[in-house]
Structure 1
Amino acid sequence: MAHEKQHRFILSACERFQGLIENAKIVEIGSQDINGTVRDCFQGCQSYLGIDIGAGQAVDLVVPGELLELPSEWATIVISTECLEHASGWQEIFATIIRITSSGGLVLLTFAGFGRPAHGTIDSDSASSPFTNHYYKNLTPHHLLDAIQLNQYFSDYGFEVNASPGDTYFWGIRSSNPWRKRESSEILEERLARAQGQLAQAVEKISKQEELYAGFRDLEARIKHEESQLQDLQAQLATTLGQLTTRTADLERVQSLLDQKAKEVENKIEEVKQLQDVIARKEQQSHGLLEQLADIRLDCDRAIDSAELAALRCRSFELESERFRIERDQLLQINSEYRRQCHRAVDLLYRIKAFSMTSDAVKSQRSSR
């Protein structure tokens, strides 16, 4: 496969001739998968044989297309995509395609046409056709019409020319006319030798495939054994799943309880945060109160000092008062003594005055005498 438009042509043909594909024997000439393959377009076929001149991906048999010695009318569908422009013997390849296609079978060809740039050569993109770097030729419908009488070998056919990228597409329904070509005994002998060689190659591939099939059978037996074990495991798994379902229900209930507890814890945490905020505020208030208390204590200390000083002053005043009391008592005693002395003096004065008066009276009496 070279590009998307060529791929769409193949898909369109598959859709149009879907009835031929089911259980068909398909041959593809130039089948190496370089940048895609059309093999996947033919689902449901009986067999699919890929032919190319070199080994590679999607190549089942290594042989030039013009030398392919499959039995005449063996294939139901023969395909060749983006191959003929790289093959110098493209006429012989086309003849082989006609020979091996059964009556009523389908031929599908795509090849580079007029205006297509060269590719797959040593002076272009050699990777596009790694086995044929030394030949290239664009082909048109006229080349096929000039090479073979298509009306003789196809009951119906058609060409499509795609100007961009410059491709020619061909489809044809094989008629019942067999391919006839007179060949000498030497050519027939050569063809027989080639057929034997191709058969040997096919037998070798079949032998390898049989080994693969044996491996597949062993693998199938192991798979069956594994399937049996798998069924046991599935039964155990079903039991485990039942237990798991029960456990899941329990876990869901536990999860529900945990969610409730988590909600309660969140509420408690929120309350604790609120309490922490309150405590923080109280601590701030306490800090302020402590500062006030410190100030009050300082004031108290000062008051105590003042009180002690006042007490000392009171004590001194008391002592001074006591001294004054003692002195007062002494003064009172002195005053009392003074009063007694005064009374005594007054009494003495009275006595003296009385005595004086008595004396004067006596004197008067004496004088009168």
Structure 2
Amino acid sequence: MPHREPIDIGIACEFLRRSFAPSETIAIVLRRTSPATIVQRIVTLERTLQPSYLGWLAHENATGANVYFAANPVVLGSRKRTKEDIAEVRHLYLDLDAIGEVKLAALRTSNTVPIPTAIVSTSPGKYQVLWRVENMTFEQQETLLKLLAITFGGDPACTDCNRVLRLPGFLNQKYAPAHLVAVEYPTLSVSHSEDFKLAHPVPNREHFGRPIGPLKPTGKHSPSESDWAWILGELARGKDPLKLTRTLAERRPDKPNPEYYAKRTVDVASAWLWLKDGLPIADVVTMLQVRRRFQIPDKLCSARAHEIAFTAQRMIARKKIA
């Protein structure tokens, strides 16, 4: 019989206390696959933390139910978990499923997002990343959730304010043996919308359907859009990507980190062209690693190459859908 990790309600208690304020109302969801059933409870934080309530959740979990919580508090008195029932924005979140280790490594080294408040390991190689936030509107949250998913390869379905996530301390019953949902807390800091410096991953979507050629800034496009079109054209004509990187960094001293901006622009554009030419994504990753192998430490270089290649792949897919 496969070994099963024990449920740890102490982990769940600490996580809930860190995530919600006293007297707040939260949603707890139990899901079973056989038979397919969903049970939702809207309760106060204090009620959830009572030993009897946690004991009930542990019993349900031990007998096959997966335990989830809503990432944002619910309006006092609500009996549902619709978007209209969410009281305020408490967290931003990102669901990293496929190649989660690579995507998480890319996120940890990115200078476009603050340090996460919590990183939840839902199963081997799969993570849910949370940022505790304040003074954020629902519109800002929705935009940032989508940009986080696009930028770091997260689940695009995990972008609603009433989303539920796995509750640490309980078992993920999708696996045999069941996997204990663990959590780490990289920081106690609270973030704000301006701390997330995420650019749209398709900065020049208008040019994707045209032959790539020289482009001079006309005033109709932003500087970043013009940079993107210029880099695509220069790479398509066989110009040296390392020289292009230096040139672009020199042209954009207005950027907070011109070198980072230039490297990323050139490498995403290169990956986009290679994938459009039919190269396998594994070969694209290898070429990106080789290009920067003397500039970036090996482990980070590998994670970065994977993240950039998948970003370019999603850009192409989005263009086909549009």
Q: Tell me if TM exceeds 0.5.
A: no
- Of structures 1 and 2, the one scoring higher in RCO (CA 8 A, sep 6+) is 2
Give the TM-score, by structure 1 length: 0.22
